[in-house]
């Protein structure tokens, strides 16, 4: 009874942690790459910046990683947010129109000067993020205060969001040529710039959930909201917070994605990425019915998703067949999580002396 907080690093402890299975899944995929794809792990130094397949996994995975941060919190409360892809498109449209408002006059005006922008960069970013926060708030109000089921509530914005994004740009695609904006998704400071964004957001979220009571309340609400209510936790405010925050994360992801493709394409930006984000969280081991969550595990989950895509491209699977192959691999990964496999691993790691 005196050694209540003692912990030790045995094999058993490692297999019991939340990170074990996501990392195992990622390792298996990378092992496959190591054997079958020569040069997959090669990293080359171009003008002091690092490039290579591994770096690409991180860079291309950054949108899903950003989404997964917000999605983890939403799923931990027992909800889900289907509208993040649409919110990305809205944020991209807002950013695009503020840099090149010619679309509003119903004319497509090609900017050739890469230093031209209609509004300064900070206004562009702030406006896009504020709009996406409003999108998140809308979801939060529907779920927490109107008591609409999360899937239905966020479906509304998922469907209408792309329409709203089109309205913002007057139905036209806005080309983004402003160079500083392009840096968000394409810049490189030794590592891709988007990775620093992910790292900062992850750190901030970790502090927000683990250095305040918010993380515990999110888990408590997700596991048993009646008990939480009786304990005096304001469950509605917690839900409002996580959906709003999820919108904010989607906004950042929208900026990264639009900067990457240099256009605010309302029809294609973030298309079906909400599903990738949900899968990333699930692969990270957070239960869809809510409860315990791990941000880091969700990040590994997002990397698993991206590593699958990257490996498929590398071994020459054509783009049109990618989704089908990907789904097969995802099924295999999810099978890793089954009780049978868990029991098997537990059997290996169980202390032999235990009666």
Partner 1 sequence: MSETDQNLLIMEGISKAFPGVQALDDVSLTLKRGEVLCLVGENGAGKSTLMKILTGVDKQDSGRIILDGKDIQAKSPQHAQSLGISTVYQEINLCPNLTVAENILLGQEPHKMGRIDWKKMNALAGETLQNLLGVDIDVTQSLGSYTVAIQQMVAIARALYIESAKMLILDEPTSSLDINETQQLFTVMRKLKDEGVGIIFITHFMGQIYEISDRITVLRNGKLVGTYDTSSITRVELISKMIGRSLAEFEEMTKIKLESSKHIKSDAVLQARDLGLTGSIRPFNLDLHAGEVVGLAGLLGSGRTETASILFGVEKPDTGAINFNGNLVQDYSPLGSIQRGVALCPEDRKAAGIVDDLTVRENIVLAIQANKGWFKYLSLPEQYGIAEKYIKLLNIATPSADQLVKNLSGGNQQKVILARWLATNPQVLILDEPTRGIDVGTKAEIQKLVLSLAEEGMACLFISSELEEVLRTSHRIVVLREREKVAEFVGEVDENTIIQAIAGSES
Residues at the interface with partner 1 (CB under 8 A): 1, 3-6, 211-214, 216-217, 219-220, 223-224, 226-234, 291-292
Q: How far apart are CA 291 and CA 297, in angstroms?
A: 14
- For the CB of residue 228, give the shortest distance to partner 1 in the complex, in Å: 7
Q: Cα separations (Å) of 231 from 223, 227, 236?
A: 13, 6, 14
* Structure tokens, 143: 């779920």
User: Residue 178 contacts by C-beta under 8 Å, 6 or more apart in sequence?
Assistant: 99, 100, 111, 114, 115, 116, 117, 121
- For the CB of residue 286, give the shortest distance to partner 1 in the complex, in Å: 12
> 332 or 350: whose CB is closer to partner 1?
350
> 58 or 245: whose CB is closer to partner 1?
245
> 216 or 324: whose CB is closer to partner 1?
216
* Structure tokens, 136: 């998140």
The strand ranges marked E within the chain are: 43-46, 49-52, 174-175, 188-189, 191-192, 263-264
- For the CB of residue 8, give the shortest distance to partner 1 in the complex, in Å: 13
Strands 49-52 and 191-192 come out as unpaired
> 219 or 276: whose CB is closer to partner 1?
219
- For the CB of residue 208, give the shortest distance to partner 1 in the complex, in Å: 9
> 215 or 270: whose CB is closer to partner 1?
215
Cβ atoms of residues 95 and 306 within 8 Å: no
> 42 or 152: whose CB is closer to partner 1?
152
* Structure tokens, 181: 């904006």
- For the CB of residue 236, give the shortest distance to partner 1 in the complex, in Å: 11
- For the CB of residue 292, give the shortest distance to partner 1 in the complex, in Å: 6
């Amino acid at each position: 009874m005196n050694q209540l907080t003692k912990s030790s690093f045995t094999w058993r402890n490692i297999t019991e942690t939340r990170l074990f299975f996501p990392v195992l899944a990622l390792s298996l995929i990378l092992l496959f790459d190591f054997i079958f794809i020569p040069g997959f792990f090669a990293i080359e130094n171009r003008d002091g910046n690092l490039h290579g397949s591994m770096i690409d996994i991180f860079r291309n995975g950054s949108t899903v990683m950003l989404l997964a941060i917000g999605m983890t919190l939403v799923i931990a409360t027992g909800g889900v947010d289907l509208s993040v892809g649409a919110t990305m498109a809205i944020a991209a449209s807002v950013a695009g129109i503020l840099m090149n408002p010619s679309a509003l006059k119903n004319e497509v005006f090609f900017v050739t000067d890469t230093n031209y922008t209609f509004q300064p960069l900070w206004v562009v970013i702030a406006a896009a993020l504020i709009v996406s926060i409003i999108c998140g708030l809308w979801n939060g109000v529907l779920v927490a205060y109107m008591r609409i089921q999360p899937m239905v509530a966020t479906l509304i914005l998922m469907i209408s969001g792309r329409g709203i994004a089109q309205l913002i740009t007057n139905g036209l695609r806005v080309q983004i040529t402003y160079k500083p904006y392009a840096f968000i998704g394409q810049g490189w400071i030794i590592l891709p710039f988007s990775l620093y964004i992910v790292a900062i957001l992850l750190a901030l979220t970790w502090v927000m959930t683990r250095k305040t009571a918010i993380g515990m309340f999110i888990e408590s609400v997700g596991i048993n909201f009646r008990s939480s209510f009786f304990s005096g936790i304001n469950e509605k405010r917690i839900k409002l917070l996580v959906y709003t925050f999820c919108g904010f994360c989607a906004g950042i992801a929208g900026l990264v994605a639009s900067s990457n493709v240099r256009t605010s394409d309302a029809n294609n930006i973030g298309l079906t990425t909400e599903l990738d984000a949900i899968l990333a969280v699930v692969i990270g081991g957070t239960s869809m019915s809510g409860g315990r969550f791990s941000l880091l595990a969700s990040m590994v989950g997002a990397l698993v998703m991206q590593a699958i895509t990257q490996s498929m491209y590398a071994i020459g699977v054509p783009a049109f067949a990618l989704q089908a192959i990907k789904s097969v691999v995802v099924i295999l990964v999810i099978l890793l999580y089954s009780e049978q496999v868990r029991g098997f691993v537990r059997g290996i790691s169980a202390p032999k002396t235990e009666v």
